[in-house]
Structure 1
Amino acid sequence: MTTTESSDVVQASDPRPGARRRLRARLARPASRVLLGSVIGQGAVLAASPLITRFYRPGDLGALAVVTALSSVVGAVAPLGWDRAVVVPRAEGAARAVVLLAVVSVVTISAIAGVVAYAGRHVWAEATGTPLLVDAWWVCPVTVLAVALQRVVTSSLARRRDYVALGRRSALQGLGQVACNLALAPLGGSWGLVLGLAVGRATALVGTRRRHAPRRSRPPRATVRPPGRRRVRGRLVVAVVSRYRRFPLVSTWSGLINVMGQQAPLLLLAALHGSPAIGALALTMRVLGSPVGIVADAVALQVDGQTGAIVRRRAGGVEASVRRVLLPLAALAVVGLVACVLGAPVVFPVVFGEAWSGAATSAMLLAPAFAAQLVASPVSRLLPLLERQGTQLAWDVVRLVATSGAIVGSSLAGATVTTSIAVWSTASVVSYAVMLWLVVRAARCADRPRAAH
């Protein structure tokens, strides 16, 4: 246990009101640091959107949606679930072994993705209605590598509770993405958009690189590398694989299905109606996703760090921690939902231009789904922390079937893109409500054995 964790244990067990107030203030500072970074990064993406809609066409944003969806799906699989396991081990040596396993997995899967993208570039372009993928087949594998590596680094930073680096990561990601979008806009086409995702992630990775202290003079080599050290490391890796095997065996597929539940509807709409037809929807996802991402990212990282520490201490208090997160999120979600429904028809045509007025309709239809996601998504990370991978996987499957089924069923029935979006939003709201119930139930079960004692 680190010094910070030990201090938290002492303060959390102190019954004095003053100690509780100090603890609450201490917990608020990390969240504010991450939130500031998210505000800068996602705020830059949101602020640049009026320029994006004037430099790029709806078809370009549709191509961005397809590349983002494909890269996010494969990027979720690339770490093979080890990224979710980084915050779980109590020993730092075991955590480093998990990080090593995650990085090796990311590099291997990204290389395989590159081969598949090149070999099937014509098939992918035709299936998604995105001709760009024929010449720019390499964009998806590169983006997969950047997205997956960032997932691993983010989990490592959350474990160390390096909230300054986490905030810097969020800021640099958004700023790098916007800089690429605007710098490459004069080239024409969608290159600036589709490359922006990878450039933003790469910028964040470079900016959050750990700054090591100056090296001290090394003792004799025999002391630094005693005989058999390599075998010890090998045994540690084997022990970690055995102990946390449920993460690659279960969480990998849970992560895949989870991301597919978010991205499959976009891919299905592109396949059924063509990527240019979802350009307005892509703008809506960009505009609504930015503020939701600002809050959800900050809260989710706090859940990983603070609630993860509570789980590792095994001293109870998980349900109380979850409820403290849920109440303010629910209030914020209601306010955002009302503001979006009332303001979208007026704001979208003025800010983005009359050519994008259709995005206002998509915003009103998807606002309930984004509100539900804002509440449920951050606390859903508690299920892997409690090693409820089976529960997470079951929910992911149900959500994927519900949202994809809504898109396919309505489209085959002859519904328009707008109607399909409405059905998709309804299925998403119901799915997130189920997730909230599962998280609260898991937290209550985690506390029950401690309460009995």
Structure 2
Amino acid sequence: MKQMTVMLQKLKGHGFLNKVILLAGGTAVAQGLQVILSPVLTRLYTPNDFGVLMIFISIVGICSKVVDLRYPLAIPLPDEEDQALNLLALSLILSITITAIMFSSFLVIGDEVLSLLDIEELQQYYWLIGLSILGIGLYQSLNHWAIRKRDYLLVTVTKLNQSIVQLVVQLLFGFLKLGNFGLLLGDSLGRMGGSGLLATLVWKKHRRNFHHITVSKMIEVAKLYRRFPLYSSWSSLLNGAALQITPLLIAMNYGTGVAGLWALSDRVVGAPMGLVGTAVAQVFLGEGAKYAREDPLKFQNLFNRTAKQLFMWGVIPTILLLFLSPWLFQFIFGAEWKDAGVYVQFLALMYLAQFTMSPLSSTLDILQRQNWELVWDFSRVILVVLGISLSSYLHLSPSYAVLIYSTVMLCSYIALYILCKIAIKLHLKSLQ
């Protein structure tokens, strides 16, 4: 880890691309470890085990979207350091409090919900669900503080730590033949490991300034940035639902085995593209928030240039996925995983659109257009649920359900691009 840190330190620079390379490079290493070791994991765990993991991740992903009421997104925005510090404290307190409320709710009504979804296997793992949600909430808050400080090396190191902890636990418990518990425990400990390391490093670097945190100032910034919980939290919940509800719907209608195939396709293709996109998104948020305040024309150029570059970077992998994914999945992961490659074929164009636009979605937050984002997310989740439900009602195959989902998501990302362009033009016009 120390050698990797030194190597990444050499990549540090002041340009946007250098910062993206720093984050994406570390992310690529972290995700590369996951992809490289996936053939081992697919021989230690069954498609059903991966299906349970995907359902677990879906539940955690949806709940974590509102665990901090989206206040971390506001941390890079204030000019005054005191406001940012109090936003950080507010976000951390909210994460702990809301996680406790969610965990208590699972204990009361969790069994009934899981029985309705026909996934009783998770009933004994409520504590892991709570642990993962807390890990995500703490990490999001601390991560956005690091973004504000433009400490992208810190973010990269913690991502590597997350991936290593997750894989070590999953491999160890896989060899011990303890079933899906190893996959779930690895996921939870990986998230908490990243949060713990990030908290330690942030504390060491910035603890001298923490005396500026007070209850009155936290209340003040909570009111000042109230659009984030009022709009962004609901938008994020819908966004998470659109992305995470699909495995739940597939498991309900087609079984956890099919959900496991979906999980592998997401782990090998969707997650790497998503994590590289997240690296770009973090730099875009850090740089874009500054440009939007100081030089809106630079912000417009940053958006256009980033969108073009992301699209070009994603074209060649997309073409390869369209033609080779079924054969590659069968060859690398085993014959029982071939259908996961078929799903990737249907998802390829959607992945390209997601890779291009997801990192730029913070444009609407930066420009205070959270209400637009809310409408977009609401429309998308409704169409996803209707599409997959219709495929089940018509007794279509799982492949058709995946194709319908891919089409809906592709169209939604095109719509998001149009909304961002309009928001930027209106922002420029308002300053004339």
TM-score normalised by the chain length of structure 1: 0.88
1:251 alignment counterpart: 232
Q: Structure 1 328/115 Cα, relative in aligned 2: closer, same or farther at 3 Å?
A: same
Q: What displacement does 1:239 show?
A: 2.2
Q: Is contact 1:118-1:137 (8 Å) kept?
A: yes
* Contact residue 82 and residue 102 of structure 1 kept, 8 A: yes
Aligned position for 2:391: 410
**What is aligned with 2:94?**
105
Report the equivalent of 2:121.
132
Deviations 1:187-219 (A, max 9, x none): 421011112222111221223232526999xxx
CA apart distance, 1:103:
1.1
Aligned to 2:187: 197
The Cα of 1:408 is off from its aligned counterpart by: 0.8
Residues 327 and 338 in structure 2, CA contact (< 8 A), matched pair in contact too: no
Q: CA RMSD in A?
A: 2.1
- Give 1:440 deviation, angstroms: 1.6
8 Å CA contact 1:43–1:290 kept in 2: the answer is: no
Amino acid paired to 1:302: V
Residue type matched to 1:167 in 2? Answer: T
**Residue aligning to 2:301:** 320
Q: For residue 3 of structure 1, what is the aligned residue in structure 2?
A: none
CA distance in 1, matches of 2:98, 2:218: 20
Aligned equivalents of 1:152, 1:375: Cα separation in 2: 25
CA contact (8 A) 1:37 1:169 kept: no
Query: Bigger CA drift: 193-202 or 345-354?
Result: 193-202
Moved more, 289-298 or 240-249: 289-298
With over 3 angstroms needed to count, the CA separation of the structure-2 counterparts of 1:213 and 1:194, relative to structure 1, is: closer
Amino acid at match of 1:342: F
| Cα distance in 2, alignment partners of residues 327 and 301 from structure 1 | 17
Of 147, 170, 173, 1:184 maps to 173
Compared CA separation, residues 34 and 108, structure 1 to 2 (3 A): same
The answer for the alignment partner of 2:204 in structure 1 is: 212
Does structure 1 residue 353 correspond to structure 2 residue 345?
no
1:390 counterpart residue number: 371
Contact 2:117 2:252 in 1 (8 A): yes
Q: Say if 2:47 is the partner of 1:66.
A: no
Of the candidates 309, 312, 319, which is equivalent to residue 290 of structure 2? 309
Q: Does 1:167 align with 2:148?
A: no
Question: Runs of 4 or more off by more than 4 Å in structure 1?
Answer: 213-216
Q: Which amino acid aligns with 2:263?
A: A
Identity over the aligned pairs, expressed in percent? 26
Name 2:426's counterpart in structure 1. Answer: 445
Counterpart amino acid of residue 182 in structure 2: G
In structure 2, relative to structure 1, the CA distance for the partners of 1:418 and 1:98 (3 Å cut) is same
Structure 2 distance, partners of 1:114, 1:120, is 10
Amino acid at match of 1:212: K
**Shift in Å, 1:411:** 0.9
**Corresponding position of 1:399:** 380
1:94 counterpart (83, 98, 116):
83
Match of 2:267 in 1: 286
In structure 2, the CA distance between the partners of 1:240 and 1:49, relative to structure 1 (3 Å rule), is: same
Offset at residue 314 of structure 1 (A): 5.0
Name which of structure 1's ranges 289-298 and 79-88 shifts more when overlaid on structure 2.
289-298
The answer for unaligned runs of 5 or more in structure 1 is 1-23, 217-223
Task: Give the equivalent residue in structure 2 for 1:363.
Answer: 344
Aligned to 1:260: 241
Amino acid at match of 1:382: T
State the alpha-carbon separation in 2 of the partners of residues 248 and 393 from structure 1.
11
Q: Secondary structure at the match of 2:119?
A: coil
Residues 166, 213 of structure 1: alpha-carbon distance in 2 compared, 3 angstrom cutoff: closer
SS at match of 2:204: coil
Instruction: Map 1:413-428 onto structure 2 (within 5 A).
Output: 413-428=394-409
Aligned length: 417
TM-score normalised according to structure 2 size: 0.92
2:65 alignment partner, SS class:
helix
| Partner residue in 1 for 2:132 | 143
Give distance in 1, aligned partners of 2:283 and 2:132. Answer: 26
